[in-house]
A and B are shown apart, each in its own frame.
Chain A
Amino acid sequence: MCDQKKTDNKEEQQKDLAEAMQEKSSRRSFLKGLSIGAAAVSATLVTGCVPSADAATNEELRLRWQEYFKKNYRLMTQEEKDQTVSRLERLATLREGLEVQIGSEPPVKKVLYGYAFNITRCEGFMECVAACIKENNLDRKTNTQYIRIFEMEPGKLDPSEGDGKFFHEVPVENKFYMGTQCFHCENAPCTKACPTKATWREPDGIVVVDYDWCIGCRYCQAACPYFGRRFNWGKPEVPKEEVNVKQHYLGNRLRPKGKMEKCTFCIQRTRKGRLPACVEACPTGSRVFGNLLDPDSEIRYVLKHKKVFRMKEELGTEPKFWYFID
């Protein structure tokens, strides 16, 4: 039975290869054929028996092979971006049975995103954290959270001195609440630490990660002075019915295992003019988000009229995340 399949499969592969050779067109089509052969061979080695090489498996292997040879996102043309996006969408369907829509929207011109957090208003309800988990398809198994809320003693302004594990009725008298997340530094130390240039600052100020170029070395996590990055030790586990299918290549798409991830200011939303999920979920209006380059934006109003400060400003990282008081 097994042998029969093996020979069948081999014949099929050879046919594919022959076809590819006959095309004589591009290196890509040759690789495509080669990939199927190579994948089949490796599968034989692993299992000792060739799996039933139906069309779906063949397609998945081909797509995965092509994914291995794609460029860094920053070097891709729009056409190549569209191709990888459609491959990833198809792979999600083949592997997880999900109909996802992965976007590759470019940054909006003349926009630099900025964020402000009102430490007088936040009452620690943690709606933002819950919304972030849902929006960004965060791992439910290890409880990955991009946002942390700290319960702070009056007079303290360093979250490391606060309580980040509180779970009791909030707000507590004479305490205040302070949220942290990735601050999207203008002069981001994490991007300089990356050996594969898999993380960078986009023109609209968002610091992003190309999950497929990340090798999981976690240098960036060590370089970040704000504990803004999260590492997934396993593939994020999200119940199928809870997956947010509106995704972005640099944002909330389902990450592979062993990648660095972090807040992206909900790139899949903000590049379409929408507010990040945390801002939309906040029941107290402590979170202000907007375009720093627009003198009429809310964030600029806060910077102009409120007492603002940033965390560890003396490091010169220039985070685009301000705390303010009423």
Chain B
Amino acid sequence: MTASDGRSGVEYLDHTADIGIRACGPTLESVFCRAACALFSLMVDVEKIEPTTQHEVNCRGETLADLLVEWMGDLLAQKDLSGLVFGRFEVGISQGFGVWTLRGTAWGEGLDAARHTPRTEVKGITYLGLRVEQEGVGWVAECVLDV
């Protein structure tokens, strides 16, 4: 399990219409947490989110890249389903029988426009330039978000 509640290790990339994110970290789990944090940082000021509510995520993917889309897609949907935005994440990732599995927890609270400084809504997680790879001694994840 790796937890992340900061935006370190995240870089936003220049895509003309949408926005790319690049998350780096020492472990696979850390880049998943940082990518999630980057997703919510586009929409709100994550520093102002109180971790009062927790949401559990269980998802699977054939590849690590698919798993990243599943993880971020689940969290993004929560914004509409329960009105939650998240700022702290913890995940565990395992592989078995050719499938990657993620068990994760996100902590956050109901979106409060007055407190959370709303920014731009993310519509979807695209597969454009999507990659999750080991690079040097750490890991890197990149994807483009439709905004």
Interaction A to B? no
List residues of B whose CB falls within 8 A of some A CB.
none
Residues of A within 8 A of B (CB): none
